[in-house]
Structure 1
Amino acid sequence: MKRLIILISLPMAFIRAQTELPVKTFFGLQTGMNHSTFDPDDGAGNFSGLGFQIGLGMGVEFANIFGIQIAPTFKTTSFDRTVLNVDMGADYNNLYLPFTLQLKAGMLPVAPYLGLGFAGNFQLDGTAYLGSLKTSVDDLENDLLFLFSVGTDFKLTKVNLTPEFSFNFNLTADDPDTQNCVESNYGFDISLGVYYTP
């Protein structure tokens, strides 16, 4: 009889613990810088450059252990290289939509975390240049990226300060029309978020 009571009470206790997990929502702003690299695999070197970003951040946190975050962001990216003393490259304005699952250390008031996820990057407009010649980019791209992030939540009373470092790898950078080349595109972001927790 005791075993039957234990067998019944254990699942009930587990279900009750799950339903009583503290759930917190958060929203706010984040801003930062990024460094992007594009390797066209043409033997002339990589394109790379700095950009900035600013956007919204919102999400849900479960018991300071798991988190889900989405952060629609306006992001500029720059790709530049010099060949035979001539600068060439392109600058883009992008809508960047990352979706991240976070595993947190569960400590208060400082909670480090690891994040994994995906992002859509939608080029809004671009300018290509070769030396002093500039032209608008007509062939804009939409890309899917894999994300890995490391950050820390500094939890104040109703505000979280969150510095974050993230690495993103473009899963759709390889152009199928260039059969002899394997293009790659990746970047690093450093950002600071300020989030309100009701």
Structure 2
Amino acid sequence: LSFRGNDESATSSNRGNYLELLQFLADNDEKVKEQMAMVLRYVDDKGHVIERFVGVQHVTDTTSSSLKDAIDIFFSSNGLSFSKLRGQGYDGASNMRGELKGLKTKILREQPCAYYVHCFAHQLQLALVAVAKKNIDIASFFTTTNSVVNHVGASCKRRDALRAQLQEELVIAFENDCLITGRGLHQETSLKCAGDTRWSSHY
């Protein structure tokens, strides 16, 4: 296969297999797109606090300006107003909580009552990581797990062998009625290393 095209410019109809494949993946694979989850917490007419996941917003990048633009679009398209915003919560990354150019600062300039709270799930994750690193057995477990994930994930052949082995075990377990079945159970997922900031990777 030819990976280079005669004309690799953006206006070319045949930029070569490599660039065309990259463009296809960018256009069709949600996994390679930057996304921001939107969750609203509000008080209803009866005074109950309600929290709702309202969707995933595609963003071009994770700069505070792009994230703020995405939030502005979301608010305007759903008839929401910054004048009623009383809080905001994110992880501790500098693009989110930065004092000069962070997303929290951009929103506070527009609505001073929208107090920033470091996301509690993220704080819990960081606390669990700190505790896990202090326990020799747990630290050893995650080191070994990460080594296995890196070893298997580095080879398509090893990933396929693991997938085939797991499918065999699932079939046997189903036949012996050892697994609970139902919608959404036993879905195939990709291997991921435990990370200090990846939620739920340490618990």
Higher normalized contact order (CA 8 Å, seq sep 6+, divided by chain length): 1
Give the helix-richer structure, 1 or 2. Answer: 2
Give the strand-richer structure, 1 or 2. Answer: 1
Q: TM-score, normalised by structure 1?
A: 0.25
Q: TM-score, normalised by structure 2?
A: 0.25
